Amino acid sequence: MIDRRVRDGLLRNVHLATFVGEGYGAVRHAALAWREGRIAWLGPDAELPAEFRALPTHDGAGGWLTPGLIDCHTHLVYAGSRANEFESRLNGANYEDIARAGGGILSTVRATRAADEDTLLAASLPRVDALLSEGVTTLEIKSGYGLDLPSERKMLRVARRIGELRGVTVRTTFLGAHALPPEFAGESDAYIDHHCTAMLPALASEGLVDAVDAFCERIAFTPAQTTRVFDAAAKLGLPVKLHAEQLSDQGGATLVAKHRGLSADHLEWLSGEGIAAMKAAGTVAVLLPGAFYCLRETKLPPIAALRAAGVPIAVSTDANPGTSPLTSLLLAANMACTLFRLTPQEALAGITREAARALGMVDRGTLAVGKRADLALWRIGEPAELAYALGARPLAASWVGGAKR
Ligand code: NIG
Ligand code: FE
């Protein structure tokens, strides 16, 4: 548990990967001081001002300090398991066929609707704890396995409770447009009406929604339906993001960029037009290599073109029971390198600075004076080790808002 009373501190005998400026923004043989949960000073240890020397001091043991990790795309609140589908896929079924036959997302909807709030919380906490044990200090959690007002509310309440219980920042995203619930079978426009006029306004008024997402895909919702979702979000002043171009090119990236979306996520089928629209709008590309890996996709997101255009690139777990039962953000970073050919520096910026940007959170994601003291201290000899090793568990300690976890 976090002792939230002590929000001042000083780390010495440490190297910093600040993610400010070029490369890792490395400062070797450094110190970093924080007061009231905010970074107050950082630089070479030899230059540490006297005024910070009396703060509660921690020995970095010659390791590296990075911003606390940020997982900007998860569906980790759910009940049940989809190991049976994993097995079916290995026996020849494919993801879209399973979805069309009422499995996939809808099988998790059945389990999630049936679970009460405490059961759902208990099922979700181990997944949260796996992320936090690897240095995550901010995470996004989507709804979308309830698909009716009480069940979506239950999911979002659980997400809020996770933030309170674990003392980390949880950003909630309403993903009512994830799949068509069975009671609306054959009436997807009527479901989108209900989503926009009843569910979203109610949940937003309860303070449960930080952003709105949708799944724009041939097995989910059309661009026209997605537009209605975005317009409803705009009316409530809520930012949007989109599951776009995962299995086919629906023009989703262009659509979300036109709505000045925070991010477009997945993007295996992203077009040149989508890239240009994202660049113009400042929409972040969120790569989800766990889903690519689990579905054994072969179409790679257009990394070189994203890079050339200067679109910011984030990386996330997409933790979910169907396509990415992954609760290691470091493994996601490794996969972004191994499968998508990101450099370790890009992948690690993708789970810190760019992930913060994907959530619209300007107060974190780098080490700089004034930023939140969300910190992760690692037993490593160089930053690239974080993306290189699999299963290494290199976290030595983490701080959230200046308080040690
Ligand atoms: O991000 N693409 C849609 N949603 C999830 C998968 C959800 C599921 O299969 O349960 C994703 O991959
Ligand atoms: Fe997702």
Handedness of CA 227, 228, 232, 235 (dihedral sign): positive
Ligand positioned closest to the Cα atom of 140: 2
What is the rounded distance in angstroms from the CA atom of residue 309 to the CA atom of residue 207?
Answer: 36
Cα of 74 vs centre of ligand 2, distance in Å, is: 6
Tens-place pLDDT, residues 145-177: 999 999 999 999 999 999 999 999 999 999 999
Q: Is the pLDDT of residue 1 over 90?
A: no
User: Residue by residue, what is the 3-state secondary structure of 64-116?
Assistant: EEEECEEECCCCCCCCCCCHHHHHHHHCCCCHHHHHHCCCCHHHHHHHHHHCC
Is the C-beta atom of 246 inside 6 A of ligand 1? yes
Binned at pLDDT 50, 70 and 90, residue 4 comes out as: low
Cα of 47 vs centre of ligand 1, distance in Å, is: 49
Is the C-beta atom of 243 inside 6 A of ligand 1? yes
What confidence score (pLDDT) does residue 6 get? 82
Measured by CA distance, the residue closest to atom 1 of ligand 1 is 318
Residues with CB under 5 A from ligand 2 (ion): 318
Tens-place pLDDT, residues 214-250: 999 999 999 999 999 999 999 999 999 999 999 999 9
Cα of 129 vs centre of ligand 2, distance in Å, is: 19
Tens-place pLDDT, residues 40-64: 999 999 999 999 999 999 999 999 9
Cα of 213 vs centre of ligand 2, distance in Å, is: 9
pLDDT, mean of residues 338-348: 98
> 3-state class of 185 per DSSP?
coil
Is the C-beta atom of 291 inside 6 A of ligand 1? yes
How many CB atoms are located within 10 Å of the residue 3 CB? 10
Cα of 42 vs centre of ligand 2, distance in Å, is: 36
pTM for this predicted structure: 0.97
How far is residue 213 from each of residues 141, 173, 179, measured CA to CA in Å? 11, 6, 12
Tens-place pLDDT, residues 257-316: 999 999 999 999 999 999 999 999 999 999 999 999 999 999 999 999 999 999 999 999
Measured by CA distance, the residue closest to atom 9 of ligand 1 is 322
Tens-place pLDDT, residues 97-132: 898 888 999 999 999 999 999 999 999 999 999 999
Q: Is the pLDDT of residue 2 over 70?
A: no
What confidence score (pLDDT) does residue 221 get? 98
Phi, psi values for residue 284, rounded to 5°: -80, 140
Cα of 318 vs centre of ligand 2, distance in Å, is: 5
What is the rounded distance in angstroms from the CA atom of residue 117 to the CA atom of residue 161?
Answer: 10
Q: Which residues have CB under 8 Å from 365's CB, separation 6+? A: 19, 67, 70, 352, 353, 354, 355, 356, 357, 371
Is the C-beta atom of 318 inside 6 A of ligand 1? yes
pLDDT, mean of residues 331-358: 98
Residue 15's nearest CA partner among 371, 377, 405, 401 is 377
* Residue 322 CA, closest ligand 1 atom number: 9
